[in-house]
């Protein structure tokens, strides 16, 4: 199958979670033998309009990343690419809309992968984009709900989650130094305080905890641990590479997610795949609860006191180093779901 990715920005313009997701999908399809073209604004030097890297051919539609100019040139670029299906992204929305026009003109289906509503976007374009796409994919049910609010038909929106390397999970060793772990970038949404307050409720019990991650709020969070007088039992490990992070997750009994905003809780996914029992504080702007709802090894809480109670309650659950229930989140399995959706749309044309 020949797939044309339409994204004004590529990771060469700077990495973001959305661009990383798009790149992983493009490379995964190329690894499976599909022809993959990425139509984008140029970020590379020289006067060449296209080049290939890791099986993906990058083609310059515009020199500068200007949404209007890119959108105007896109239909012709799609026609020259001759794809079987177009895979666009929702942000910024005008290139995505141009992709739906290009799809109509070239008679090829258009999938829009909707990571999140970006605050810098003109939201008035979201509604026509959501309605005109042949299918919309989202990383979570939380995002799916928002896309439906923009006018998309629920049957046209598919949840295709973020993915992990499950082979790496199975192959990693085990580091059992900790009883509880929090893992995430330590930014203004991290809300590590709930984790620390829950631990502080259990000062009289024997436990050790780790915080994995770094970011602008790290100093303030470490100060909170000192103020709660638990800093001698909480180790701040920084932003560990995967080969150091996985053994810790595999050896830790409980993983906690308390962030106030999470498009997809990828750090929590790694933890539960590594066998952790998940304690998740419900937040309206986070999808983390979706990974634990209906699962025996997961609990939802709404306060530090509830978190402390659940720490104790799940103590009798067996320790695991791998949970194969999450093998369906492997990179390859999710790529296969994208390919299946493309085939479904092409066959329906």
pLDDT one-digit tens code per residue, 216-250: 999 999 999 999 999 999 999 999 999 999 999 99
Q: What confidence score (pLDDT) does residue 348 get? A: 82
Q: Is the same domain home to 300 and 340? A: no
The backbone torsions φ and ψ at residue 27, rounded to the nearest 5 degrees and listed phi first, read: -70, -35
Q: Is the same domain home to 319 and 334? A: no
Q: What confidence score (pLDDT) does residue 46 get? A: 81
Pick from 307, 316, 301, 277: which is nearest to 202 by CA? 307
Q: What confidence score (pLDDT) does residue 80 get? A: 96
Burial (CB count within 10 angstroms: exposed 0-12, middle 13-18, buried 19+), residue 40: buried
Tell me which H or E stretch contains 336. helix 331-348
Q: Is the same domain home to 101 and 242? A: no
- For residue 187, give both structure tokens: 């930014």
Mean pLDDT for all residues in the chain: 96
Q: What confidence score (pLDDT) does residue 349 get? A: 57
* pLDDT average, residue stretch 15-35: 97
Q: What confidence score (pLDDT) does residue 45 get? A: 85
Q: Is the same domain home to 206 and 308? A: yes
Lowest mean pLDDT among 124-128, 260-264, 329-333, 345-349: 345-349
Share of the chain above pLDDT 90, in %: 95
The backbone torsions φ and ψ at residue 116, rounded to the nearest 5 degrees and listed phi first, read: -165, 165
Q: Is the same domain home to 304 and 157? A: no
Q: Is the same domain home to 149 and 192? A: no
Pick from 144, 118, 147: which is nearest to 131 by CA? 147
pLDDT at 133 over 60: yes
CA distance 217 to 189: 9
Torsion sign (Cα): 9, 13, 17, 19: positive
Q: What confidence score (pLDDT) does residue 47 get? A: 84
* pLDDT average, residue stretch 31-43: 96
Domains held by the chain: number: 2
- For residue 233, give both structure tokens: 């039992």
pLDDT at 271 over 70: yes
148-199 pLDDT, tens per residue? 999 999 899 999 999 999 999 999 999 999 999 999 999 999 999 999 999 9
- For position 128, which CATH number holds? 3.40.50.2000
CA distance 300 to 294: 10
Residue 198, SS3 per DSSP:
helix
Q: What is the pTM of this model?
A: 0.95
Q: Is the same domain home to 151 and 171? A: no
Q: Is the same domain home to 83 and 72? A: yes
Q: Is the same domain home to 257 and 268? A: yes
Q: Is the same domain home to 132 and 25? A: yes
Q: Are 178 and 207 in contact (CB under 8 A)?
A: no
Range of the domain at 187: 166-328
303-312 pLDDT, tens per residue? 999 999 999 9
CA distance 135 to 226: 50
286's CB contacts (< 8 A; 6+ apart) are 142, 257, 259, 260, 261, 262, 265
CA distance 333 to 335: 6
Q: Is the same domain home to 229 and 335? A: no
Tell me which H or E stretch contains 127. helix 126-132
Q: Is the same domain home to 54 and 151? A: yes
């Amino acid at each position: 199958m020949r797939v044309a990715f339409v994204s004004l920005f590529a990771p060469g313009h700077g990495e973001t979670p959305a661009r990383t997701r798009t790149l992983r999908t493009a490379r995964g399809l190329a690894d499976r033998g599909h022809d993959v073209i990425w139509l984008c604004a140029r970020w590379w030097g020289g006067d060449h309009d296209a080049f290939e890297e890791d099986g993906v051919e990058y083609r310059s539609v515009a020199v500068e990343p200007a949404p209007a100019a890119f959108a105007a040139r896109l239909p012709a670029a799609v026609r020259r690419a001759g794809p079987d299906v177009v895979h666009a992204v929702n942000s910024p929305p005008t290139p995505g809309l141009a992709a739906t026009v290009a799809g109509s003109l070239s008679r090829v289906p258009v999938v829009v992968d909707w990571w999140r509503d970006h605050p810098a976007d003109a939201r008035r374009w979201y509604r026509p984009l959501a309605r005109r796409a042949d299918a919309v994919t989202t990383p979570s049910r939380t995002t799916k709900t928002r896309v439906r609010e923009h006018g998309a038909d629920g049957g046209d929106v598919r949840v295709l989650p973020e993915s992990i390397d499950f082979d790496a999970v199975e192959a990693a060793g085990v580091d059992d130094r900790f009883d509880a772990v929090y893992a995430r970038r330590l930014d203004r949404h991290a809300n590590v305080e709930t984790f620390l307050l829950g631990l502080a409720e259990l000062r009289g019990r024997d436990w050790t905890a780790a915080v994995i991650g770094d970011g602008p709020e790290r100093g303030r969070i470490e100060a909170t641990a000192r103020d709660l007088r638990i800093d001698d039992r909480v180790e701040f490990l920084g932003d560990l590479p995967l080969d150091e992070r996985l053994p810790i997750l595999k050896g830790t009994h409980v993983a906690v997610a308390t962030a106030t905003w999470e498009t997809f809780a990828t750090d929590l996914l790694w933890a539960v795949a590594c066998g952790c029992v998940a304690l998740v504080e419900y937040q309206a702007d986070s999808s983390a609860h979706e990974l634990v709802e209906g699962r025996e090894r997961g609990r939802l809480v709404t306060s530090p006191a509830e978190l402390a109670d659940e720490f104790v309650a799940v103590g009798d659950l067996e320790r695991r180093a791998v949970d194969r229930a999450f093998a369906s989140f492997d990179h390859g399995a999710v790529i296969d779901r994208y390919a299946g959706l493309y085939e479904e749309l092409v066959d329906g044309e």
